[in-house]
Structure 1
């Protein structure tokens, strides 16, 4: 195998875009637009990548994507003069000049602001909030501090802070601030709080991001015709955003699960757990409230030293009509090997489908009917996953689906599992093909396991083994599907997500798996490259 650079050198989306050619960067960005609603970090990263080029000499496709990125960034950051100035300089939003002047004229304590905006919300959010509130008390017209405070609130999944009560928005910016507040509430999914602001701003809205949020607000309120109208307008304004087209189709043709499949299909449900007695009990309680028909249940205890065995034994009473078996291993063999141990059970060969559930999930009661219906729609579907969210009043998206985003000499990567800091408001309640879905709740067709019989134990103790397995299925000709009509609440502290609770050492183990993934797939990168344009020709 040829020598390659260490893949950890390409850090984040910006690093990946910088490593790609102009054509590769454009494909990367276009793939993202086919996958998720655009977010500020991605649009800004792409803008910065394009600014390396001679703008006037860009090919037409690159110009189109650059314009879309600038428009999106301006719409997502109405109160950031640096971003607004890019829009003005590009000739895309010349009207922003007045806004820039007001923002600069009301800006105070600039060094403090710059320090705050660079601070990580994940670790210092409460500190940033306190400083912003103090500055606003001294300077009630400090627009950029008010805007930053609202960003912290959104990051933490909160309504606007009481500290904003003292903010006095300059008159010329009041329509933009009302739109900002509408988007804050609507993007959280707070329909009641968002509606009054919509009445203020409705006549002036002509950007697709706001229209899409308004569409979901009306759909949640029961007015689907209005939602369709708003999504049609959003898609007309930004036809590159494929999620709008998929959502339009889903609203016009609602998905109907076949509940009879739960009774007629042979299904075995597998769970594995390590020292999570309490959350395992909650997961099994949640499963007991689900319609699973005669499905068999098998629980593998991965060298547990807590009360997990007693919890599993006690769960027998929850499933009087189902066969339940407990496999109590003396040592923790890790997640991939635990999956393989379960797949080696005779129940796998005797079933048509295998469902894997993590030990820390809250399940939708009719999940199995939905996922079976998707699987039965095409005999080549080998795996079906679902929408995964964090717990909370406003549920932050944790994982939707992925595609192969990069097959560079220096790194082989799959895309992000969800857009940055988006909440579950309904946009992703669709059925679509993917390349990778989340392993905490998914349904495997047993026939597909002939081509991918095991999960790779080199990724022990956890992480990436499910990604790797889905790619094996795809390269063998099977399809992976996302069923967004099923929502799984994943009470996890693993991974490197915004809410991860892992130590640096544990995160290092995950990053080590990224390197293993790169070198494992390097010699097949041309095959993977054929998977990286999912949806571009749809």
Structure 2
């Protein structure tokens, strides 16, 4: 083993930096924060991370400004990158008053936002602030053609590589892979092949160039072994886990519950009917619905026949109680596995076999989950592998529970994916701290042994996370299957915060969940997960060295 892949590489790293990097090596904000943290303990690592952070969005004047304020940093960057940053700052002019733009953006009226940005660009065609803002909204709405059509005025030559890089991304997301690839390779001459390894690998894979994808990823990890996300993706490509499907080693119960979402449930059951169920039994609970849900269930029961069992409750008992009701069904308990599905998802045809591959790779997991994508904008990731963290400023010891605070025991799940679109960054399989309840698979006995979903967290929100925390405390950590994507019709994140009652319930349940688990338990979970992530990563890197894929 070479020095890069020995146990000491990660063990010798400054602990706060190690914790952040083990979560992933993607995203401008994440890499910037980690880079600043690393500067004091390992200046070279800090510079590499800050350069990588900038390359993730090289037209972002805010990041460029922050980098320019770090004393002595820019001369350590490649000369062409430093010149690009200096030119960007000269062409970046943030308007003094953005009140009107913020008002229309808050209403999510994309048509009006787009029109406003174009009108501002017409007045200031060389102001990179408006060009970058247009690209942000093109990504948010997955309007990749708009990203490609954004007018760009006469700009200094030093800026052109950043423009080319942005155009290559939009071309890739729009499916113009043959156009994206040469643009990416040209941009790599300025920004470095290592910093573009993920996106180059994604384009290469779509073009059928698997060896090229692996070569680019291995080169990046060999040169900079802190690239955890690249290493995880490389391992899965080397082992063909991205293509692997395996039948579950036992019978399966598919568990659904629904309340007054007839249209969404109809689409969910249709996708389930199209998929390869491999003899799975379906248990459908109507949670006291008063719309057309009952008729939808009857319609699909005639399609599935004896494969589906329906359960009708007279009132809505909430998500947690519905999950508990389903897991206590005698026929469910006879199955080796049980998977919960939300009533507003669309599953892939081979979804069970993909979950089977995760079970095959990590048979002792507490639960297996997958990548959840926005149904309306599939490039938007709602959930991936999530890790339990403490917010900035809350790290370390403190009172076990402080009921006087709105966050009595501050912890949350990581959210690296919220700053990125789905372009290969989370295409890997590994343990994590939590997986979303939209689609999560259990060994039935472990599900029963872990106890029911907490009724304190009714009617919904955080009951799946709290259930995962109890599993983690037993040492049964979840596993994320990033090679399976499930489409989810419910909006998540900021876009979902439109119902005051639902938002109030979510905040109340977060408070209760934090009060249920004292700080000492959360710190224990975080420490155990960090050791697990490091061990998993080291084993995979050692394998890649043995196979000659990494130099070692």
**TM value normalised by structure 1:** 0.84
Residue 273 of structure 1: aligned partner: 258
Within the alignment, does 1:38 sit opposite 2:26 as a pair? Answer: yes
Question: SS state of the match for residue 319, structure 1?
Answer: helix
Distance between the aligned counterparts of 1:138 and 1:393, measured in 2? 31
Distance 1:121 1:83, change over 3 A: farther
Asked if the contact 2:121–2:151 (Cα under 8 Å) also holds between the matched residues in 1, the reply is: no
Q: How does 1:359-438 map to 2 (within 5 A)?
A: 359-392=343-376, 394-406=378-390, 408=396, 409=398, 411-438=409-436
- Alpha-carbon distance, 1:219 to partner: 0.6
1:344: how far off? 0.9
Correspondence for 1:524 among 521, 530, 534: 521
State the distance in 1 between where 2:189 and 2:522 align.
50
Quickly say closer, same or farther: Cα 1:390–1:285, change in 2 above 3 A.
same
**Deviation of 1:430 (Å):** 2.0
* Cα distance change on mapping 1:37 and 1:189 into 2, 3 Å: farther
Q: After superposition, where does 1:35-184 map in structure 2 within 5 Å?
A: 35-46=23-34, 50=37, 58-60=40-42, 63=43, 66-79=46-59, 80=61, 81-86=64-69, 89-90=72-73, 91-93=75-77, 95=79, 98-107=83-92, 110-112=95-97, 123=108, 126-161=111-146, 164-165=150-151, 167-184=153-170
Q: 1:451 to 1:488 in 2, by over 3 A?
A: same
Unaligned runs of 5+ in 1: 1-24
Q: What corresponds to 1:6 in structure 2?
A: none
In 1, distance between residues paired with 2:27 and 2:103? 18
Q: Which runs of 5+ in 2 are unaligned?
A: 1-12, 399-407, 538-552
- 1:219 maps to which residue? 205
Gap change, CA 1:200 and 1:446, over 3 Å in 2: same
CA contact (8 A) 2:117 2:130 kept: yes
Which secondary structure does the structure 2 equivalent of 1:530 belong to? helix
Corresponding residue of 2:458: 460
Q: Tell me, yes or no, if structure 1 residue 506 matches structure 2 residue 502.
A: yes
> Structure 1 residues 93 and 187 mapped into 2: Cα distance closer, same or farther (>3 Å)?
farther
Equivalent residue pairs, number: 502
Moved more, 128-137 or 184-193: 184-193
C-alpha deviation, 1:200, in angstroms: 4.1
Q: CA deviation at 1:401?
A: 1.7
Distance in 2 (CA, whole Å) between partners of 1:484 and 1:97 is 35
Q: Contact (CA 8 Å) 1:132, 1:148: kept in 2 or not? A: yes
Query: 1:242-321 maps to which residues of 2 (within 5 A)?
Result: 242-255=228-241, 257=244, 259=246, 261=247, 265-320=250-305
**1:145, 1:527 → 2: CA distance?**
46
Cα 1:41/1:427, change in 2 over 3 Å: closer
Q: Normalising by structure 2, what TM-score?
A: 0.82
Distance 1:434 1:98, change over 3 A: closer
Alpha-carbon spacing, 1:501–1:266, altered in 2? closer, same or farther (3 Å): same
Change (3 A) 1:194 1:303: same
Which residue in 2 is equivalent to 1:9? Answer: none
* RMSD between aligned residues: 3.1
Give SS of 1:294's match: coil
Question: How far 1:72 sits from its partner (Å)?
Answer: 2.7
- Structure 1 window deviating more from structure 2 (92-101 vs 310-319): it is 92-101
Paired with 1:164 and 1:143, the residues of 2 have a C-alpha distance of 11
* 2:325 alignment partner, one of 317, 338, 341: 341
